[in-house]
């Protein structure tokens, strides 16, 4: 399913060596317990004009709940941000931003720095995407094998 969520249940059942009904039940269970969070379509960034990925490193001197809520709400409202992480180490937050061009990134940057107090913002533009996947590595716990 991680490779193609549009596959018919009969095809998935065949690939995993189950009959249709038990396979459907297992998939329903994965939905119910939240293993399957959602089913989406992945778009070609080039074909929709989302040509540039920018990794934005953010540092702040503010480390309190009110500031974090304001920052998180601000970032969540910005559609250009496709990933947002709180980090350990020298960088406090890391964003992956997707924009069509430098002008759009500049407008995004100005909006970000005017929305919340930041001590440092550093941007790195991806030159080439070498690997991209949404597939998570799956390994079974020893108690799950068999």
121 φ/ψ angles, rounded to the nearest 5 degrees: -130, 125
pLDDT for 138 equals 86
Using CA atoms, how far apart are residues 38 and 5, in angstroms rounded to an integer? 10
Q: What percent of the chain has pLDDT over 70?
A: 95
pTM for this prediction: 0.84
Q: Which position has the token pair 């953010």?
A: 58
> What value does the mean pLDDT take over residues 105-119?
96
pLDDT of residue 139: 78
Q: How confident is the model at residue 142 (pLDDT cuts 50, 70, 90)?
A: very low
How does pLDDT run across 23-74, given as a tens digit for each residue? 999 999 999 999 999 999 999 999 999 999 999 999 999 999 999 999 999 9
CB atoms within 10 A of CB 29: 11
Q: What is the pLDDT of residue 113?
A: 96
Report whether 129 contacts 53 (CB < 8 A). Answer: yes
Q: Averaged over 71-89, what is the pLDDT?
A: 97
Average pLDDT for residues 1-11, to the nearest whole number? 92
pLDDT-derived band at 140, boundaries 50, 70, 90 = low
- In whole numbers, what is the pLDDT of the chain averaged over residues? 93
Query: What is the set of domains in the chain, with CATH numbers?
Result: 1-42 (1.10.10.10), 46-125 (3.30.70.920)
Q: What is the mean pLDDT of residues 113-141?
A: 92
Identify the band that residue 143 occupies on the pLDDT scale cut at 50, 70 and 90.
very low
- For residue 81, the model assigns a pLDDT of 98
């Amino acid at each position: 399913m991680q490779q193609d969520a549009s596959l018919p249940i009969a095809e998935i059942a065949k690939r995993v060596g189950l009959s249709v009904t038990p396979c459907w039940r297992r998939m329903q269970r994965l939905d119910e317990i939240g293993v399957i969070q959602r089913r989406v379509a992945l778009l070609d960034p080039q074909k929709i004009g989302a040509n540039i990925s920018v990794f934005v490193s953010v540092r702040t001197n503010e480390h309190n709940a009110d500031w974090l809520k304001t920052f998180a709400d601000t970032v969540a409202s910005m559609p250009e941000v496709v990933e947002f992480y709180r980090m350990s180490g020298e960088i406090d937050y890391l964003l992956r931003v997707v924009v069509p061009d430098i002008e759009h990134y500049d407008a995004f940057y100005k909006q970000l720095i005017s929305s919340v107090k930041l001590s440092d913002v550093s941007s790195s533009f991806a030159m080439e995407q070498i690997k991209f996947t949404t597939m998570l590595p799956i390994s079974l716990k020893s108690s799950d094998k068999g």
